[in-house]
Structure 1
């Protein structure tokens, strides 16, 4: 049972009566019905990659963990409707591969895509690198199937893009972290595969130049922008030091970097459009240097520098994590303000802010000072969270951009969420889960 009772960051460890592994929706419904009759709490779990403890039971031994990993079937691909119906336990990378084999694109992409599952992605409304072009997980779903707290099955696997017959119920379950129902299958949107992709790794002096570059790119390329990621020099140094087979794409050192992807159905001269954009940005003083991938292998190498950022920080000791969002225009000032406050509170601590600048989501991670005690630094998690989230609040941002609330941020939610919104969330919980058996202790 051990693999189901702790999560990747090892912040939360739980206990459970047992692990149950249903093979289809009918078995999930039967399990939930029995748990409803006996008052047994249920903790749904997909790939166990969540970063806020939403998939881990509490420290008591009254709950069961319901793993959906056996429910991994592809039920249908409908190319005319551009949809794919999959079960909740399908691994995200496998869903991408199924779409690719059908000549389509499923654009949700995360660093954990080799192990996270579609059900987990939907339950947390996962974001990832493609949000700027395709939206979050909820934007990629047309219909869902879910088991309710009393064991009934909500059969909402619709392919319709237009359906105004009352409330759009799927959105109650997407992002609710298994507290309102257990998602067992979903109808996912598919897109045409881009005929051309261009990737640039760009050296910058400051975040304000990245924001200006994004605006310039949007004017020049519009919806051809499929990713725009921000990377600090310190983060790149961590990856170069600890991850084998990578190298610095640029000759000189720069304080910041942007990773820009353009993708298009119009294969004619996308490379020329990328080069023209970079030339104009250089003339305006926004870009110090840039490299454009000359092959698919080089494109993968560029992206590995971004994807390995979280893993590389492990080798530098303790890291206090934040998943926040602010308006894109506010990112430079936000980074400056929060950097100053963290430096005052924790001298020598090393901020590694990186992430999805194209949609305003920054992972503001703080690595321990060199040579300091890891446990002593991590003991300041709540204190550093309070400081960072205070700056987020001043800028009208969110303390959870894409990772969810789970256990980690549950007690913070009441401090940052509108009281009326909290009341509505509690009312929904009481209505859909009156016995409180679905993932208790999470979100609210």
Structure 2
């Protein structure tokens, strides 16, 4: 955390980690922002939803985040520092916590006094998960989410009832609701979506897209950004393509060899998550009961988002999760894509801003249509009415979901570091 010591005004930047997360997951990003902008910004690396508390629901976690933001604002104001701009960066599930939190802040009138500046997400499941899918690993994830991730899993699966029969993600993408209106207010809206090697949050949901060109990656030719080759500027279909059968055979052989080793890890990991989910369900029930007793209700009934934060001292071990996530992505890893030099006539410095991404890509009939359910498709269409700048991220590694924000400092994550450099130098604006 850094505060502006020599000035009377500051730009507040809030960073929000994802599922099972902790502030350390975004520490590399925080460090790079501090190195670049120093005392021009104040950073809150949120810690109110550590580890298994992320199971409690996007709304409950969002309320905690709002309270932590208020505490930071008060701390700065007590030091005589005026906040003039507000930006928020969400990683993975933290992007949904962020979308909920800004809706509550909007309702409270915060943005009448502080300018909403940059809203950014990295690998965030904006469209949740889906069950109408044939591939094994994504289907398992979609099946398991509502069963082992408590209230959060239900919301990601669109089976919750937040307002009447409407699910929370549906409400959050409704143009007439506070969450959508708050998002529209931000001057800059950025989305970073992994194209490959992210089975936790696939491209279509991170990019808010009805199509996923990268489902058949062997058919594609990529045009990478000249300065930041981890960013894809455009995607073209090959005229002729053939499947990499050798790679597929090697992949299936790896699955056969790895299965006996991974099975015990999977069993212990899923068992631990199930126990944590039960604890979350009890915790959520107590929160709901306290709201009834204290006459505190949610957004649809004028919620102020002022639930008191808890003192979270325990962070669950993430070793098994990191290993399983990495192996899962490796097993599902697709053949390398063919890359091509950009055909743009812009200079290298001009093309590095990657402002000429393909908006047609997200609805092109040339690419496979994602089997969204009706409310997901409606939410997708609504959210795409907002002018997001979308970046297609190409990380040729085993675990792009972790690498996109350099989540683990013990790995080199060279592509992730280059992506963070792009965000700090090109996307972030004081």
Using the size of structure 1 for normalisation, the TM-score is 0.25
Larger RCO (CA within 8 A; separation ≥ 6):
2
User: Who wins on radius of gyration, i.e. which is larger?
Assistant: 1
- Specify which structure has the higher proportion of helix: 2
Q: When you count strand as a share of all residues, which structure comes out higher?
A: 1
TM-score normalized with structure 2 length: 0.25
